[in-house]
Amino acid sequence: MLSHLTLSNFRNINQVSLSPSVGINLFIGENGSGKTSILEAIHLLAMGRSFRSRNLKNIIQFEHAQFTVFARSSEMTPVGLLFDTNTGLQIRLNNAPLKKLSDLAVNTPLQYISANCHQFFELGPKFRRRMIDWGVFHVEHKFNYHWQTYKKALIQKNAALKNKKSKAEIELWDQYLVKHGDQITDLRTTYLNRLIDIFKPIFSKICPTFDQCEFTIRYSKGWNKDKSLPETLAENYERDRILGYSRAGPHSADWMVRINNDSPEEMLSRGQQKLFYLSLCLSQITLLMEIKGVKNTILLLDDLSSELDWQHQKTVMETLRSLPVQTFITSTNTELARLISNEKEKVFHVKHGEIREDNETVNTSI
């Protein structure tokens, strides 16, 4: 959980310092005021990357040479990041320097829900794989080892295929792909089977229209389901040689939740698609809490109000309130502030890159 956050020269935010609450934090402001930038800064700290710029240079406020983000968690672990156009990146975790941004990702599990998350169905398997791998990674720490080893073997095999090496040199990598590939598949399917049980009640509560439906997981392993991975790799040898890369395996896997055995994208409206994606994220957080007892997850929810009517915005807020997750929500809808009530929640008003905490928040039970 973040207990303190300071940003300087971060996009349109010149200098801001705030103390978020442990529950819901609502950032309200007009378009271009700096709301998403705050989520971006938290994402950068927790995940080691921005969700909208590959190049950190683009984050630096125009006409400045560096930006900084600093946070303190409730466990009092300070984490700070400075990016300077001349000297590059410096990261400090618990007062010690950190080499790689990616090392930051292990410390705080974070879920980011973008403003256009209803595009989840169109974004393709890569995005969906990344989504469940986040959960498997946090629930099963050995997943990272299997995935990293698998990825290295795949890179080597693809290089051998591309450079037209001998059959023996190409097939040398298959033993690693099979050993770790089967583990990855097992861990993912176990995870998804647990996730679906948690998803059902959450989605039915947020979107009651579907409470009588049956929800199932469809997982495509990334190769023919009737064949083993060694069989498939052997059969695909000629094709892979022509393609110059190895296609079959868990790196080509995909998954989806089916509703009454139908594709959700065909039956859900845009708003329902957003609620569906949101429910999946909340299920992942709940699963992490149930299995690992993790209670310090951070949820970033950009633009809650888009696509959702007032009743659904309220239901989402109530659901979030029932979870032990620190949430950062943005919206242009000032009415949402009326839903913020207890001492575990805060409203911040964002205007031209400046942030003012609303101390006048009252419970007006709507």
Ligand X SMILES: Nc1ncnc2c1ncn2[C@@H]1O[C@H](COP(=O)(O)OP(=O)(O)OP(=O)(O)O)[C@@H](O)[C@H]1O
Binding site for Mg ion (CB under 5 A): 36
Cβ distance to Mg ion smaller for residue 153 or 300? 300
CA dihedral 204, 205, 207, 208 (to 10 degrees): 70
Span interacting with ligand X, options 43-51, 60-68, 238-246, 269-277, rule CB under 6 A: 60-68
Instruction: Give the contact letters, 197-236, x = binds to ligand X (CB under 6 A), - = no.
Output: ----------------------------------------
Cβ distance to ligand X smaller for residue 39 or 139? 39
SS3 246: coil
Cβ distance to Mg ion smaller for residue 36 or 273? 36
Min dist. Cβ of residue 303 to Mg ion (A): 6
Min dist. Cβ of residue 56 to Mg ion (A): 19
Inter-residue contact 249 to 181 (CB < 8 Å): yes
> What is the spatial distance between Cα 310 and Cα 307, in angstroms, rounded to a whole number?
10
Q: Is 222 annotated as a binding residue?
A: no
Min dist. Cβ of residue 330 to Mg ion (A): 6
Q: Is 35 annotated as a binding residue?
A: yes
Min dist. Cβ of residue 304 to Mg ion (A): 11
Q: Is 36 annotated as a binding residue?
A: yes
> Which alpha helices (DSSP H) does the chain contain, by range?
35-47, 125-139, 142-162, 167-171, 174-206, 229-235, 237-243, 264-267, 270-292, 310-321
Cβ distance to ligand X smaller for residue 303 or 345? 303
246 binds, among ligand X, Mg ion, none (CB under 5 to 8 A by kind): none
Min dist. Cβ of residue 114 to ligand X (A): 10
What is the per-residue burial (b if ≥16 Cβ within 10 Å, else e) of 141-170?
eebeebbebbeebbebbbebbeeeeeeeeb
34 binds, among Mg ion, ligand X, none (CB under 5 to 8 A by kind): ligand X
> Contact between 114 and ligand X (CB under 6 A)?
no
Alpha-carbon distance values, 131 to 13, 20, 113, 177 (Å):
30, 26, 11, 22
Inter-residue contact 61 to 9 (CB < 8 Å): yes
Inter-residue contact 19 to 3 (CB < 8 Å): yes
Instruction: Give the contact letters, 146-165, x = binds to ligand X (CB under 6 A), - = no.
Output: --------------------
Inter-residue contact 209 to 273 (CB < 8 Å): no
Measured over the CA atoms of residue 264, residue 269, residue 273 and residue 275, the dihedral's sign is negative
Residue of 2, 7, 11, 210 interacting with ligand X (CB under 6 A): 11
Q: Is 144 annotated as a binding residue?
A: no
Binding residues for ligand X, how many (CB under 6 A)? Answer: 16
Residues 27-56 touching ligand X, rule: CB under 6 A, are 29, 31-37
> What is the spatial distance between Cα 171 and Cα 158, in angstroms, rounded to a whole number?
11
Q: Is 271 annotated as a binding residue?
A: no
Residues 314-343 touching ligand X, rule: CB under 6 A, are 332
> What is the spatial distance between Cα 337 and Cα 93, in angstroms, rounded to a whole number?
34
Beta bridge partners of 294: none
Min dist. Cβ of residue 219 to ligand X (A): 34
Q: Is 124 annotated as a binding residue?
A: no
> What is the spatial distance between Cα 54 and Cα 281, in angstroms, rounded to a whole number?
24
Q: Is 31 annotated as a binding residue?
A: yes
Q: Is 364 annotated as a binding residue?
A: no
Report which DSSP code applies to 91.
E
Residue of 55, 62, 76, 359 interacting with ligand X (CB under 6 A): 62
Cβ distance to ligand X smaller for residue 114 or 315? 114
96 binds, among Mg ion, ligand X, none (CB under 5 to 8 A by kind): none
Min dist. Cβ of residue 41 to ligand X (A): 10
Which are the contacts of 348, defined by CB distance < 8 A and separation ≥ 6?
A: 18, 25, 26, 27, 28, 355, 356, 357, 358
31 binds, among Mg ion, ligand X, none (CB under 5 to 8 A by kind): ligand X
Binding-site residues: 29-36
* Binding-site annotation, residues for ATP: 29-36
* Residues within the interface to ligand X (CB under 6 A): 11-12, 29, 31-37, 58-62, 332
